[in-house]
Structure 1
């Protein structure tokens, strides 16, 4: 009996030690990387007027410029997935952030649209592995059934990055120019790269598999109907969520809701808080209802349905507070990100990096297309003092809503309300 007691105490100590290691190797270093990623992703929504005014950029150019982040991000996904599965998250993420830092410097120093595109593209390339590296680390050190909760916690850290790019950034811009802000971001990115390199000590054995074999496994994923079914029901909603928050939510608040610059930044801050709350809520709800047999896809798809409803409010004449719309869009939009964990759970852990990045490739290509398309549609109307008419946003957002409806119908075909047996 005494030995059993000692064993129990030892096991409890090991659990605490494992949790401490998990916290140090994922939530601090990789969470900081994801924080930086989201800060870069959403910063253009706040500096939109400065960029457009200084460089005389029309909406379609702003959409292309901001969307180049998504395009470069997408281009990195397949080789990134192979590298993550072969070399591990620490060896990949630190060096890539240095590329983002270089892109931030180029963006800060550029005075032409092409220079800005190059800088923004390098930023997207450099932060392309932020979330995927964290998810890969979770798949290594966490039980697979806890992956949705861990992903949600990491996404909430990304929400903090989005939060920092709103009212806090607006305050900083009272003291420095947007160019100086990007130079400061470059320094911060280098520091985070150093934290990941020197603090992550979790053991990872590099895989001996050949790159060709690992790449062929990616090809098999793309030929799998299961992969596409799990991805397609959420992918347009996810792309819309990223594209609107990264750029068009700010102009919508200004042109349609009639908010001033400071109030707009505060509203975006309010939405970023809702994003953090949404990530944590959907993660906790998924983890809690798992014990009752409720499938994660039920919670993910249900949240997406409400997310689409808030987009409908954005184009309707219903008098709804723009603060409520921003919060609801940001809160329920986080449901789209839960599908990362659902897709990752569908394969063995050694494939987690490749399946996550393969799905991410599809999401970010569509995010680029959606962001650019929104700018093209809005640009068909004439601006008055830099502001576009309400009808321009109604057509743009209406088109995006139409692209998301088939995904909801596909989700219903899964019969997500059916529960799985619970094994105790």
Structure 2
């Protein structure tokens, strides 16, 4: 039995969470910084849509590919070490991006940013699982996802302003400096657990491989992953790269109005997340259906906008960005689902696998949008029109259809698993009570 030396869910927990949350805000800012700079980047590096998409695709590919190894490292070394490592990589990558002028080096800089970003969110989620009570965790998890999107607001407005006033190098160099301040804060404040530190958890390779097999074989992990896959990608694709060009070139909006819509999108994340966190806490048995409902609401305005052969009215674009933004909080439900099926000692690995879902869908969608744009209009970024963007954004329906199918499939398997391995768990969730996983078992992956 480990010795508890700090209170759970009290003042120290909130202070640690706030510092870690600040790192996540910065990570979202770095991740989203290309969103308002996409058109400038195409001019600076003289590239077409496919090449521009490569920035984001490789950044997201590295992010997704690192989730499993990051989860393993997280369970072994803890959140503090990975937050510091991620900050070093993001700061260095953004500083490099500020000064390079060749396309290959710029791509390398974005890859380094993606590698650092990959370590942040799951580290914060593990701190939430360790430092907060079971009844607090769903709300704090949602708040993490919501408040973290403030980084996208900073990327949409202040960075846009800085690019005009300071230029490319000055704006991105200034952006990189925030990482140094947060490195000091993490080193001084963050502690991995309220229990006495016994050092890194050493796991034999054979045991690690076996536990990874159990974590992946657990239908709850896959349900969380497909939940994240289905709900997150539309918002990520829109905010990270293609939303700004779509609004300016496809819908004919000014850059100021487009930036305002991106900020509105982020503000709606916070508002909708509060509602979703209450629903998830109140109705744990219906979490998957809540997510499917949100995705259905997202599809409606996208269909209305893409069906038009003329620019959509501003009110419809407002509805589009708000409902698309709701996918962000909905994707957080994937981590809450994984927590119901996973013991705390494997949460790093389970969270990493869940996080692969949405970012895999995002990088594939980003790439396909760029490919469709270039196939329709080889003339480059300046030549794209509304019809080109209508065709390109239609690729989203493929991923929505696949994701909804898989969520329904693994919801059924997950409930069967709980009935078999944890009698009474399903009935408890139907009564609105959260299920607390009792601990690791060799049968969990069966």
What is the TM-score of this pair, normalised by structure 1? 0.88
Question: What are the residue-to-residue correspondences of 1:182-261 with 2, within 5 Å?
Answer: 182-201=172-191, 202-203=193-194, 204-205=197-198, 206-261=200-255
Q: Compare 293-302 and 75-84 and name the one that shifted more.
A: 293-302
Residues 82-131 of structure 1 show CA distances to partners (whole Å, capped at 9, x for unaligned) of 11111211122112210111111111111111101100000010121211
Contact 2:234/2:327 (CA < 8 Å) preserved in 1? no
Alpha-carbon shift at residue 336 of structure 1 (Å): 2.4
Which residue does 1:64 correspond to in 2?
54
1:370 counterpart = 2:361: no
The partner residue of 2:302 within 311, 327, 330 is 311
Contact 2:157/2:263 (CA < 8 Å) preserved in 1? yes
Alpha-carbon shift at residue 147 of structure 1 (Å): 2.6
Contact 1:267/1:326 (CA < 8 Å) preserved in 2? yes
SS of corresponding position for 1:386: helix
Residues 181-203 of structure 1 show CA distances to partners (whole Å, capped at 9, x for unaligned) of 22112211121122111111354
Q: Compare 121-130 and 338-347 and name the one that shifted more.
A: 338-347
Which residue does 1:350 correspond to in 2?
345
The change in CA–CA distance for 1:115 and 1:385 in structure 2 (over 3 A counts) is: closer
SS of corresponding position for 1:45: coil
The partner residue of 1:301 within 263, 283, 292 is 292
Which residue does 2:75 correspond to in 1?
85
Question: What are the residue-to-residue correspondences of 1:103-252 with 2, within 5 Å?
Answer: 103-201=93-191, 202-203=193-194, 204-205=197-198, 206-252=200-246
Alpha-carbon shift at residue 333 of structure 1 (Å): 4.2
Which residue does 2:423 correspond to in 1?
none
The partner residue of 2:400 within 399, 404, 407 is 404
CA distance in structure 1 between the partners assigned to 2:382 and 2:245 by the alignment:
10
Contact 2:122/2:348 (CA < 8 Å) preserved in 1? yes
Q: Compare 390-399 and 99-108 and name the one that shifted more.
A: 390-399
Which residue does 1:420 correspond to in 2?
430
Contact 1:39/1:165 (CA < 8 Å) preserved in 2? yes
Q: Compare 214-223 and 49-58 and name the one that shifted more.
A: 214-223
Aligned pairs, how many?
406
CA distance in structure 1 between the partners assigned to 2:10 and 2:291 by the alignment:
27
Alpha-carbon shift at residue 233 of structure 1 (Å): 4.6
Which residue does 1:6 correspond to in 2?
none
Contact 1:272/1:330 (CA < 8 Å) preserved in 2? yes
RMSD: 2.5
Question: What are the residue-to-residue correspondences of 1:273-352 with 2, within 5 Å?
Answer: 273-287=267-281, 289-290=282-283, 294-317=285-308, 319=313, 320-352=315-347
CA distance in structure 1 between the partners assigned to 2:121 and 2:105 by the alignment:
27
Residues 308-328 of structure 1 show CA distances to partners (whole Å, capped at 9, x for unaligned) of 223223312265532332222
The change in CA–CA distance for 1:198 and 1:61 in structure 2 (over 3 A counts) is: same
Alpha-carbon shift at residue 66 of structure 1 (Å): 1.8
The change in CA–CA distance for 1:405 and 1:18 in structure 2 (over 3 A counts) is: closer
Which residue does 2:388 correspond to in 1?
392
Gaps of 5+ in 2: 1-5, 416-426, 435-446
The change in CA–CA distance for 1:286 and 1:115 in structure 2 (over 3 A counts) is: same
CA distance in structure 1 between the partners assigned to 2:206 and 2:167 by the alignment:
47
CA distance in structure 2 between the partners assigned to 1:18 and 1:403 by the alignment:
38
The partner residue of 2:14 within 23, 29, 32 is 23
CA distance in structure 2 between the partners assigned to 1:283 and 1:386 by the alignment:
42
Alpha-carbon shift at residue 170 of structure 1 (Å): 1.7
